[in-house]
């Protein structure tokens, strides 16, 4: 194992008194300090360490991973993926090949049965990764909708392959410029036309049957798109995701663990329990960071994966940034809604009570609580207003395809989630007051769709509100799992601000590469991939990775003049 660090520990004065770490030095120097060891921080640090740069990765929590977490939160020997469970763009992630993940034991579970919706009459709809299977399921409800789906999904698949997926790994450009370049092709024109519609309009104009509409509207909006807002260029991605989710075998933390090994074996240093409290800036140039205990780390560059307010207001300081950037950070809108999650441990698997398609029990995700598109629309409207008059959501048996999550034969771990407001009925503290009531409402809904299953079959359960998410991962302000709302003013070249959306910021040597930067949240690796290239270029490091062909083709087709 390589190392590029010399340890000197003379002790230091801090707000906690004199501290002498048995391992951590009080003075360190590096080329790049990366703040936050979530998916983007790990990816950035791994690329740069392998490029020969002296990298320190700093994590506030006691372990790396951030949203890539697999924890024993329920009951001894029962593990749950507490945050990232549905891996959404594995087909395109450049880092899986760059770091040879598959050859090193990272296995992705990719079931054919992907996303189901179960109705009160015990009938169902089921989307599969194989289009013909999804077509057959929709056909049971509407021949017209099934035929519409066949044409629609072919176009969406092409949009993913040729525009959305490759665009995830290329720095953004001003919106008007991008529009001009995108409309070069017929597919690009169709993509822009789809952007002009809201998710609700796209779904209701495409499909006629209320059950089919309900399924597609929920999957389009569950990760943050507003049903009624136009300009949703991620709409095709959300539809595609509903048929192409994967699960990380052995738990999501396995992906984080492999990145950690790459960082260390390539000479990087990972410091956990190392909260950054200041980014040092002198004469408009970054100088390093200061940790909570007084440790000073000198760095030629700093890459922050935190949200805009944390990075620029709290750590850099308002006096070191332009008033326009400060105002942008202060008015940054966090996610329209977060997630509420319940994990349960059971002595037997979940079996859904359906009369038409037993493959529902093979589905990676099942949605329940909605009968038509208007109920889905009202649900999201209420959630945005801070209300939970009606509860519906999606459930997954995590051990159905990953038995490694339990150490007791026959036992299972499952989760139920739904989009949820941070300020419930106007106040965040209402989550604690209504915790038991909401848990019972969720269990009533869930159990009503299960066969031969009662509360006695549940060994233990645990729930997490948007407030709990913020407590666990503070940069997810207000439980914002994407570090910022998906609206037209906070996406693309405007994420988080036009002066730093390409990862470089107005402060020399400071880069942003978290979920609040382009292209956004979820475990896509996009912010980190873009940042790694920029930092390596700026620091004269060798870029050892090759740009995948699908990205090169996109650049040549759409971005070159």
Tens digit of pLDDT for each residue in 227-284? 999 987 899 999 999 999 999 999 999 999 999 999 999 999 999 999 999 999 999 9
Residue 200 maps to which CATH number?
3.90.660
**What pLDDT is attached to residue 25?**
53
Mean pLDDT of 337-359: 95
Q: Domain for residue 95, yes or no? A: no
| Domain co-membership, 239 together with 255 | no
| Alpha helices per DSSP H over 274-411 | 308, 323-330, 373-384
C-alpha–C-alpha distance, residues 130 and 128, integer Å: 5
Phi-psi region of 224 (alpha: psi -120 to 50; beta: other; left: phi over 0): left
Residue 417 falls within a domain, yes or no? yes
- Residue 475 phi/psi, 5-degree rounding, is -75, -10
Both 348 and 200 in a single domain? yes
Tokens of 513: 């590469």
Cα separation values, 24 from 7, 295, 383, Å? 7, 9, 45
Are 233 and 364 found together in one domain? yes
> Which phi-psi region, left, alpha or beta, contains residue 478 (left: φ > 0; alpha: ψ -120 to 50)?
left
Q: Please say if the pLDDT value at position 18 is more than 70.
A: no
The answer to the question of residue 93 being in a domain is: no
User: Of 4-13, 248-257, 495-504, where does mean pLDDT reach its minimum?
Assistant: 4-13
Q: Which tokens belong to 514?
A: 């978290």
Q: Are residues 122 and 40 part of one domain? A: no
Confidence of residue 12 (pLDDT cuts 50, 70, 90): very low
Full 3-state SS string of 85-107: CCECCCCCCHHHHHCCCHHHCCC
**At which of 472, 506, 532 does a domain end?**
472
3-class secondary structure, 411: coil
**Percentage above 90 pLDDT, the chain:** 91
Q: Are strands 247-248 and 108-109 parallel, antiparallel or unpaired?
A: antiparallel
110 pLDDT above the threshold of 80: yes
Q: Which of 449, 472, 495 is the last residue of a domain?
A: 472
Domain assignment present for residue 478? The answer is: no
Residues 221 and 347 reside in one and the same domain: yes
- Specify the pLDDT at position 4: 57
Beta bridge pairs of residue 109 = 247
- Quick check: is 81 in a domain? no
What is residue 561's predicted lDDT score, i.e. its pLDDT?
A: 79
Supply the pLDDT for residue 113. 98
Question: 522-546 b/e with 16+ CB inside 10 Å = b?
Answer: bbbbbbbbbbbbbbbeebebeeebe
Contact 113, 243 (CB under 8 A): no
Q: Name the pLDDT band for 560 (thresholds 50, 70, 90).
A: confident
pTM: 0.93
Owning domain of residue 309? 12-67+250-332+484-559
Which H or E run includes 280?
strand 276-282
**86 within a domain of the structure (yes/no):** no
Is the domain of 215 the same as that of 341? yes
In this structure, are 369 and 466 located in the same domain? Answer: yes
At 279, which CATH number?
A: 3.50.50.60
Distance CA 294, CA 18 (A): 10
Quick: pLDDT tens for 502-551. Answer: 999 999 999 999 999 999 998 999 999 999 999 999 999 999 999 999 99
**Residue 500 belongs to some domain of the structure:** yes
Q: Does 98 reside within a domain?
A: no
355 plus 365 within the same structural domain: yes
Q: Which residues contact 456 (CB under 8 A, 6 or more apart)?
A: none
Looking at the fold, whether 302 and 277 belong to one and the same domain comes out as yes
Question: Could you tell me if 498 and 543 lie in one domain?
Answer: yes
Report how many domains make up the chain: 2
End position of a domain, from candidates 410, 439, 472: 472
Tell me, yes or no, whether 266 and 377 share the same domain: no
Q: Are residues 115 and 180 in the same domain?
A: yes
């Amino acid at each position: 194992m390589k190392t590029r660090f010399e340890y000197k520990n003379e002790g230091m004065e801090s707000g906690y008194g004199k501290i002498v770490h048995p391992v951590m030095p009080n003075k360190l120097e590096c080329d790049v300090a990366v703040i936050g060891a979530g998916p983007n921080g790990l990816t950035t640090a791994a690329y740069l360490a392998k490029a020969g740069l002296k990298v320190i990765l700093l994590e506030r929590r006691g372990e790396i991973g951030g949203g890539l977490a697999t924890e024993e939160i329920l009951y001894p020997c029962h593990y749950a993926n507490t945050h990232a469970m549905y891996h959404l763009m594995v087909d395109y992630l450049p880092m899986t090949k760059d770091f040879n993940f598959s050859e090193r034991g990272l296995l992705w579970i990719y079931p054919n049965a992907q996303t189901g919706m179960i109705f009160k009459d015990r009938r169902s709809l089921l989307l599969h990764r194989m289009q013909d299977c999804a077509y057959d399921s929709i056909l049971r409800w509407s021949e017209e909708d099934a035929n519409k789906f066949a044409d629609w999904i072919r176009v969406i698949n092409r949009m993913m392959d040729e525009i959305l997926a490759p665009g995830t790994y290329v720095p953004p450009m001003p919106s008007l410029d991008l529009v001009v370049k995108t409309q070069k092709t017929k597919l690009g024109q169709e993509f822009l036309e789809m952007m002009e519609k809201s998710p609700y309009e796209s779904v209701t104009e495409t499909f006629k049957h209320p059950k089919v509409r309900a399924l597609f509207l929920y999957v389009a909006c569950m990760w943050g798109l507003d049903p009624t807002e136009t300009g949703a260029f991620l709409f095709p991605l959300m539809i595609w995701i509903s048929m192409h989710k994967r699960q990380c075998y052995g738990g999501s933390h396995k992906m984080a663990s492999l990145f950690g090994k790459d960082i260390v074996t390539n000479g990087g240093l990972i410091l956990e329990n190392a909260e950054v409290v200041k980014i040092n800036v002198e004469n408009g140039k970054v100088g390093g960071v200061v940790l909570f205990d007084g440790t000073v780390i000198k760095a030629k560059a700093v890459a922050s994966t935190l949200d805009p307010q944390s990075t620029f207001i709290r750590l850099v300081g308002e006096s070191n940034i332009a008033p326009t950037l400060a105002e942008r950070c202060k008015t940054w809108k966090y996610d329209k809604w977060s997630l509420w999650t319940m994990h349960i441990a059971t002595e037997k698997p979940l079996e859904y009570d359906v009369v038409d398609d037993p493959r529902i029990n093979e589905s990676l995700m099942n949605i329940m609580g909605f009968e038509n598109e208007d109920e889905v629309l009202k649900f999201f409207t209420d959630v945005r207003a801070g209300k939970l008059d009606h509860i519906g959501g999606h459930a997954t048996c995590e051990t159905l395809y990953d038995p490694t999550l339990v150490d007791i034969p026959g036992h299972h771990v499952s989760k139920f989630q739904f989009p949820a407001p941070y300020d419930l009925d106007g106040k965040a503290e209402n989550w604690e007051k209504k915790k038991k009531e909401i848990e019972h409402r969720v269990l009533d809904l869930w159990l009503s769709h299960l066969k031969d299953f009662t509360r006695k079959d549940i060994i233990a359960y645990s729930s997490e509100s948007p407030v709990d998410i913020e407590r666990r991962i503070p940069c997810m302000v207000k439980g914002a799992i994407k570090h910022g709302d998906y609206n037209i003013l906070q996406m693309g070249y405007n994420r988080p601000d036009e002066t730093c959306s390409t990862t470089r910021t107005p402060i020399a040597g400071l880069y942003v590469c978290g979920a609040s930067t382009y292209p956004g949240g979820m475990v896509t690796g996009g912010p980190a991939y873009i940042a790694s290239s920029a930092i390596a270029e700026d620091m004269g490091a060798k870029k050892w990775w090759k740009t995948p062909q699908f990205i090169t083709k996109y650049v040549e087709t759409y971005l070159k003049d």
